[in-house]
Amino acid sequence: MNDTSEYIVETENLAYAFGTHSVLKSLSLKIPRGKVVAILGPSGCGKTTLLQLIGGQVEPAAGSVRVNGRVVHEMDNDELYGMRRKMGMMFQVSGLFTDMTVYDNIAFAIREHTQLPEAVIRELVLMKLQVVGLRNARHLLPAELSGGMMRRVALARAIAMDPMLAMYDEPFAGLDPISLNQIAVLIRELNDALGTTSIVVSYDLSASLKLADYVYAIANGTVAGQGTPEEMLASDDPFLKQFFHALADGPIQFHFPAKPFKLDLGWPAA
């Protein structure tokens, strides 16, 4: 797990499906070390599934995912566990332990993976909570937090172990404008200060484009475009132009593929 190549994550011809519904089809991308990379695309295009494949939560139907030069789905349980210890994950729905306080949610991974004394763990937890502005909320349970506060606790937990790879699934969801800006700045500063690599999946185009060094846009199960934020905004590609400028007309359809509405209602097709 000590590969020093230019890219920390590489996917090649990656495919994944839920039953008969194909989500990813021949997806190939590379995540460079030390950078913040945004994965953007319409709802249901497979962004969260890609993070699950990188973390080894699910296995691909075809193709491969490499992390630090190792194929994830070829690892045994011990190797996979070791890889995950070097990852931080902020889940789309926060994923906090509901019967643990904010403090214990942050401390959990540190206690699980290290032999540090509680006095040191306390300092680390308070440092992470201070960064997200919730140090004095450490005794609260998740049910006592607002949605935005839960997102901030989830971020603090994701960076608790100073991971080599941090993955953020919708880190800006439910945040007010001030908190959103602070969290975006935090992700950027932590990435640069710790030498971490960050993958950000988000619907917030404005925040993601300001934050990211490089952008991948996903559509129809594959990479629809890639480049710097400036390149993506300036693209004349119909899909990229519609998506990045929120245009009503273009190849991205609002409706999930279906037969004509009249047929579902039982009306004559003509």
| Tens digits of pLDDT across the chain (270 residues) | 556 689 999 999 999 998 888 889 999 999 999 999 999 988 888 899 999 999 999 999 999 999 999 999 999 999 998 999 899 999 877 889 999 999 999 999 899 889 999 999 999 999 999 988 899 999 999 999 988 888 889 989 998 998 999 999 988 887 888 888 888 988 998 898 888 999 999 888 889 999 999 999 998 889 999 999 999 999 999 989 998 988 887 777 767 777 888 888 888 866
CATH number of the domain to which 54 belongs? 3.40.50.300
Of 155, 135, 46, residue with least CA distance to 91? 155
Domain boundary among 113, 143, 162: 162
Please, what's the b/e burial string for 60-88 (b: 16 or more CB within 10 A of its CB; e: otherwise)?
A: beebbbbbbeeebeebeeeebeebbeebb
Instruction: Identify whether 254 is part of a domain.
Output: yes
Instruction: Identify whether 2 is part of a domain.
Output: no
Q: Are residues 175 and 157 in the same domain?
A: no
Instruction: Identify whether 92 is part of a domain.
Output: no
Q: Are residues 25 and 80 in the same domain?
A: yes
Q: Are residues 257 and 128 in the same domain?
A: no
Q: Are residues 64 and 181 in the same domain?
A: yes
pLDDT of residue 63: 94
Of 105, 90, 51, 104, residue with least CA distance to 187? 90
Q: What angle do CA 149, 155, 158 make, to 5 degrees?
A: 145
* Residues of the domain holding 53: 7-86+163-265
Instruction: Identify whether 213 is part of a domain.
Output: yes
Instruction: Identify whether 1 is part of a domain.
Output: no
Q: Are residues 143 and 235 in the same domain?
A: no
pLDDT of residue 227: 95
Q: Are residues 73 and 119 in the same domain?
A: no
pLDDT of residue 203: 82
Instruction: Identify whether 270 is part of a domain.
Output: no
Q: Are residues 183 and 260 in the same domain?
A: yes
Single-letter residue type at 90: M
Report how many domains make up the chain: 2
Q: Are residues 132 and 53 in the same domain?
A: no
pLDDT of residue 20: 80
Instruction: Identify whether 91 is part of a domain.
Output: no
Query: How is residue 245 written in tokens?
Result: 């400028």
Residue 17 burial (CB < 10 Å; 0-12/13-18/19+)? middle
pTM: 0.86
Q: How far apart are CA 260 and CA 238, in angstroms?
A: 25
pLDDT of residue 10: 96
Q: Are residues 75 and 148 in the same domain?
A: no
Domain boundary among 114, 137, 162: 162
Q: Is the CB of residue 8 less than 8 Å from the CB of residue 197?
A: yes
Q: How far apart are CA 83 and CA 70, in angstroms?
A: 10
Q: What angle do CA 210, 214, 215 make, to 5 degrees?
A: 85
Instruction: Identify whether 174 is part of a domain.
Output: yes
CB atoms within 10 A of CB 25: 17
Q: Are residues 38 and 107 in the same domain?
A: no
Q: Are residues 186 and 238 in the same domain?
A: yes
Q: Are residues 51 and 175 in the same domain?
A: yes
Domain boundary among 135, 162, 189: 162
